[in-house]
A and B are shown apart, each in its own frame.
Chain A
Amino acid sequence: MIFQTPIMALLLVAGLASLTALWSGGFAVQVLRRWNLADMSRAQLQRERATELVSTLFAAVMLAELAALLLFVFNADRMASLFVGAMCAVGTLNVNGYGFPALYLKIGVFFAATLWLMLDRADRMGRDYPLTKVKYGVMLAIVPLVLADAGTELAYFLNMHTDVITSCCSKLFTPANAGLANEMASIGPGMSLWLLGFAGLAVAVSGAVVLWSGRGALAYAFLSALMFALALTAVVSVIAPYIYEYPNHHCPFCILKPEYNYYGYALYIPLFLGTGLGVGAGMLSLFRNRESLADKLPAMIRRQVIWSMAGFAGFGLATLYAIASSNLIIFG
């Protein structure tokens, strides 16, 4: 199945990302061992220059990976018509054992790359590059993730056989089966909406605290992650049924289809942005005491918290609109 244009595009991005990751990983080892700003040697100067290249390359890879994540899901959805039993992306991803791991790794790479770019930005704000070693240490952790993503993706596409009968999303997301997907679907709609509402409130309060006092960014990051998990649960258990106007269909992928006006993208994009920025704000607050960052970092954290709250608010509005405009009545 490798002779499909979108698959070729995805493999191209994955291949280039792996190349970049391998080279940057090698450079990161060098930085961790020899980085010394006081050193006036030619080698150190070259290292300092090369950091510019690594930052630019990584930013480009991250942009491409973001586009690839969208394309991966979009393409899985479109290819569903090629497999017996598949009706949306879930069926395509279930064609073999590599589909869902590939998706999770892609999401992982996306979040990891986002956090790394924030570290990079913070590092370049200080005149003495205070976070360089941290930044390249983190990069060494991201490299295997990028390689694993490329490997799983390749295995997934190479092992795609159209004579396999896959299972449809309505089989996976039902309370009757065992597994995480079904746990999510079987939480009561009322319960999950209350949980989501409380999480949203907690995020808003903690965000306000960060903006007002400049403290508590770590708590905000933790709440953002919690909000992310609860939001995904709420999508499966209650928001998706509202969009389908059908109480027993819980699939979180079918909402990305054109039949539902691509509504899923309005939910997921702000949610992912809000979460990435929120967790990043918490991560940055760990370095607030570095001397050269003391005057600039708090402003950056504040900005991130504001944008993160805007993202969550966007998700909340999209949720409310989905419920208000639906003809389905679950409560009352």
Chain B
Amino acid sequence: MTPWLRRQRALADYTLASLARRKGKNIALVAVYAIVVFVLASAMFFAASLRFETSAVLRDAPEVTVQKITMGRQDLIEGSVAEEIGKIRGVTSAKPRLWGYYYDRIVGANYTVMVPDDPEMIPEPGSVIVGEGIPRARGFKWSGAPLFLSRYEGDLKRFDVARAFESDSALMTSDLMLMNEADFRDFFEIPAGLYTDVVATVRNPNEVATIVEKGSNALPQMRFVTRSDIERTYQKLFDWREGLLAALAAAGILAFVIFAAEKASGLSAEEMREIGILKAVGWDTRDVIAMKLWEGGLVSLGAFLLGTVTAFAHVFFFGAPLFAPILKGWAVIYPDFALAPHVDGLELLTLALLTIVPYIAATLVPIWRVASGDPDAVMR
């Protein structure tokens, strides 16, 4: 072992023993520190895993969505547009879609109503397939209970529930209701030949920009939304929410920094005497600074580990009950979903910089002031 390593080991050994001698005070410090780390880490882990979840969900989404814009508002689109889009070279398929929202006045929730593309998912006339959130919101006591929907005062329409989705796809299907095309047009009074929008899939993602350009030249009144636009918007939204929470946490960090600085400069008489004795037996200023840095390092490490691990459990095992309303948004039927654990080096590094750097910065000057005093002055 080199002399340098031996010196560090001795310092660490001494520091650990000295930390253990003042257990109560140090545990309090670590606890406060860990809470700061915990708050920040929870916000970051949660936002990151939402970002991850969205991009996983969008991976199967169609590359391009075409909407008709009339007077600046989205309007119903003619089915013939799909054929025209389909003719552009590079587009594998273009299909019109029928979907919309239905406001359920009984429970005050919005459902997404859709005509499925997959023939296996098309329900029989008069029946619907629903996401797990709808029976939950309606408080259905037994399976097979019929669903009554009311579009306006005095109107009532009965649907049978063919089946409900499993909750493993809850983020996407919780408020979803599938109908067949005839029922849909009848329910929403949509004339034949008109659709909500048109989706197109593209074989080579690098060609999306060119296809959008060609499409908007041929159909100037349409709006083209690409999958990467949607993904970018979600990313920005979650980034922004995470940033907002982190900025709020800054107040907490500042308070903690003041607490740490105060604690490092106002040493107890006993600690003062300890440093005085160390200097009297031959430690020089540099050794005392190194010892104090070890102390700060060990406290930081402990608090960082404690804070990160509890934040991990809070977010991924318990679903982040403290922050979820801010970060994921809210709705009457909110899906019950478990977040996929997703933590990367970038987050941990950011977290370390945001918490450890302020702590070290706050304690360095007080440490030096104590360490550079004369032994007798320190002890007195």
List residues of chain B with CB within 8 A of the CB of A68.
Answer: 353
B352 within 8 A of A: yes
Q: Which of A3, A56, A57 contacts B239 (CB 8 A)?
A: A3
Q: Tell me if B346 and A71 are in contact (CB < 8 A).
A: yes
Given contacts A3-B240, A3-B244, A4-B243, contact A78 B346 (CB under 8 A): yes
CB-based nearest B residue for A78: B346
A6 within 8 A of B: yes
Stretch of B12-20, B318-326, B358-366 at the chain-chain interface: B358-366
Q: Tell me if A52 and B289 are in contact (CB < 8 A).
A: yes
Q: Which of B231, B247, B372 contacts A81 (CB 8 A)?
A: B231
Q: Tell me if B44 and A162 are in contact (CB < 8 A).
A: no
Q: Tell me if B243 and A8 are in contact (CB < 8 A).
A: yes
Chain A nearest CB, measured from B364 CB (Å): 6
List residues of chain A with CB within 8 A of the CB of B231.
Answer: 81
Q: Tell me if B345 and A74 are in contact (CB < 8 A).
A: yes
B235 within 8 A of A: yes
Q: Tell me if A3 and B353 are in contact (CB < 8 A).
A: no
CB-based nearest A residue for B289: A56
Q: Tell me if B44 and A82 are in contact (CB < 8 A).
A: no
CB-based nearest B residue for A20: B361
Chain A nearest CB, measured from B286 CB (Å): 6
CA–CA, A12 and B40, complex, Å: 15
Given contacts A12-B358, A64-B357, A81-B235, contact A56 B350 (CB under 8 A): no
Chain A nearest CB, measured from B38 CB (Å): 15
List residues of chain B with CB within 8 A of the CB of A84.
Answer: 228, 232
A292 within 8 A of B: no
- Mark out the residues of chain B between 329 and 380 whose CB falls within 8 Å of any chain A CB in the assembled complex: 344-346, 349-350, 352-354, 357-358, 360-361, 364-365, 367-368, 371-372
Q: Tell me if A49 and B285 are in contact (CB < 8 A).
A: yes
Chain B nearest CB, measured from A163 CB (Å): 10
CA–CA, A67 and B346, complex, Å: 11
CA–CA, A68 and B357, complex, Å: 11
B27 within 8 A of A: no
Q: Which of B243, B357, B365, B367 contacts A16 (CB 8 A)?
A: B357
* Residue ranges of A at the interface with B (Cβ–Cβ < 8 Å): 2-10, 12-13, 16, 49, 52-53, 56-57, 60, 64, 67-68, 70-71, 74-75, 78, 81-82, 84, 124, 162, 258
CA–CA, A71 and B352, complex, Å: 11
List residues of chain B with CB within 8 A of the CB of A70.
Answer: 349
A-B residue pair count with CB separations less than 8 angstroms:
91
Given contacts A4-B243, A56-B368, contact A71 B349 (CB under 8 A): yes
List residues of chain A with CB within 8 A of the CB of B345.
Answer: 74
B236 within 8 A of A: yes
Q: Tell me if A5 and B235 are in contact (CB < 8 A).
A: no
CB-based nearest A residue for B373: A49
* Residue ranges of B at the interface with A (Cβ–Cβ < 8 Å): 40, 44, 228, 231-232, 235-236, 239-240, 242-244, 246-247, 250, 285-286, 289, 293, 344-346, 349-350, 352-354, 357-358, 360-361, 364-365, 367-368, 371-372
CB-based nearest A residue for B360: A60
Q: Which of A5, A6, A10 has the most CB of B within 10 A?
A: A5
- Supply 5 further A-B pairs (C-beta < 8 A) apart from A49-B285, A57-B364: A8-B250, A56-B293, A68-B353, A70-B349, A81-B228
CA–CA, A52 and B344, complex, Å: 37
List residues of chain A with CB within 8 A of the CB of B235.
Answer: 81-82
CA–CA, A281 and B353, complex, Å: 30
Chain B nearest CB, measured from A188 CB (Å): 28
Given contacts A3-B247, A4-B243, contact A82 B236 (CB under 8 A): yes
Q: Which of B228, B231, B246, B358 has the most CB of A within 10 A?
A: B246
CB-based nearest A residue for B358: A12
CA–CA, A124 and B235, complex, Å: 50
Chain B nearest CB, measured from A294 CB (Å): 20
Chain A nearest CB, measured from B333 CB (Å): 30
CB-based nearest B residue for A7: B243
List residues of chain B with CB within 8 A of the CB of A12.
Answer: 353-354, 357-358
Q: Tell me if B243 and A9 are in contact (CB < 8 A).
A: no
Q: Tell me if B243 and A67 are in contact (CB < 8 A).
A: no
List residues of chain A with CB within 8 A of the CB of B368.
Answer: 52-53, 56
Given contacts A4-B239, A162-B236, contact A53 B365 (CB under 8 A): yes
CA–CA, A325 and B229, complex, Å: 37
CB-based nearest A residue for B349: A71
Given contacts A71-B353, A81-B231, A81-B235, contact A52 B346 (CB under 8 A): no
Chain A nearest CB, measured from B254 CB (Å): 11
Chain B nearest CB, measured from A45 CB (Å): 10
List residues of chain A with CB within 8 A of the CB of B285.
Answer: 49, 52
